[in-house]
A and B are shown apart, each in its own frame.
Chain A
């Protein structure tokens, strides 16, 4: 095995990075993949609660870096999927406790016996973000169909290109198709046209996401959840499987256009 290291980032906070990481990790684990998640938000630990693993934390990533424990000791095994792990962020330290080379070293150690390493980046474009992208083989940018989120996503895409991390793929999160239909929300097509990068998934706004994070059980495990299905599809695409984009109740024709945009170079 040689893991693919994938960083999920966004620029703006609150667009759904942590939710995306928790859901994609669960979806990959449901497909039988060995997954390790890393919470890259040092000082503002959150992935543990969204994944429902907050009571199992003994060591964190800073303990690994500063030699207080072995990497394996900081890997918390998931309650439902024995091949899914979380390396939590330190809660009482700041981003300066980790360097980009620490992240590269940890990810290289993880590559040998896992298939996916998912890194949850903090918001912003500073040290924590630089740490989160240092080891990435590919980057997913999460945005909402909203002016400030799209602007910040564009900044992040520009930085990733300047850092020669390649062009990231886009997750459009919290699309409200009723608002789009009424022309009161940017459509997925608009966002793709503005950002000029390839799409990997559109997640509809869905209240089951909040219910899932309340319980610490990401919505991908809920078969009836539309957002869950969108995340399961993205997880398939990360595995190189071609899955058609979901129809989110739009007039026909638009989806054909999105497929074309998504497939363009």
Chain B
């Protein structure tokens, strides 16, 4: 990356802080978040058919509160029923 294409430092500062603050506030390391994600997928897979590669789970901020946001697309089960 050369000087001209480099991201402005204030942008890096904000992005880095956003991540750090979420982990500070929840006391959850990125590794713990990964294992939470695995456990969650295992539990859901016991009931419905999901595509693990399409799943997105992350922490989001809203003012001073955090939320765990999961987007879990379901596999189409219609053909199993008809077939």
Contacts and interface: CB of A to CB of B under 8 A. Distances in A.
B17 A157 contact: no
Interface stretch (B4-12, B45-53, B72-80): B4-12
Nearest to B62: A196
Nearest to B61: A196
A254 to B, nearest CB: 13
Contact of A151 (B8, B9, B24, B63): B24
B10 A183 contact: yes
Interface residues of A, number: 23
A236 to B, nearest CB: 26
Given A161-B64, A196-B63, A196-B64, A186 B25 contact: no
A190 to B, nearest CB: 5
B64 A167 contact: yes
Q: Is the interface of A mostly helix, strand, loop or mixed?
A: helix
A11 B31 CA distance: 27
Contact of B9 (A155, A161, A167, A184): A184
A187 interface: yes
Contacts, number: 48
Contact of B10 (A167, A190, A197): A190
B18 interface: yes
A48 to B, nearest CB: 34
Nearest to B65: A196
Nearest to A158: B25
B21 A194 contact: yes
Contacts of B10: 179-180, 183-187, 190
A147 B18 CA distance: 10
Nearest to A151: B20
Interface string A180-207: 1011111100100011110000000000
B17 A151 contact: yes
B81 interface: no
Interface in B1-45: 8-11, 13-14, 16-18, 20-21, 24-25
Most buried by B among A167, A182, A186: A186
Contacts of B61: 196
A150 interface: yes
Contacts of B24: 151, 154-155, 158
A81 B14 CA distance: 42
B14 A194 contact: yes
A183 B8 CA distance: 6
Nearest to A197: B64
A154 to B, nearest CB: 5
Contact of B21 (A154, A179, A185, A190): A154
Contact of B14 (A151, A186, A196, A197): A186
A47 B20 CA distance: 33
Interface in A124-162: 146-147, 150-151, 154-155, 157-158, 161
Nearest to A190: B14
Interface of B: 8-11, 13-14, 16-18, 20-21, 24-25, 61, 63-64
Closest 4 CB pairs between A and B?
A: A183-B8, A196-B63, A196-B64, A183-B10
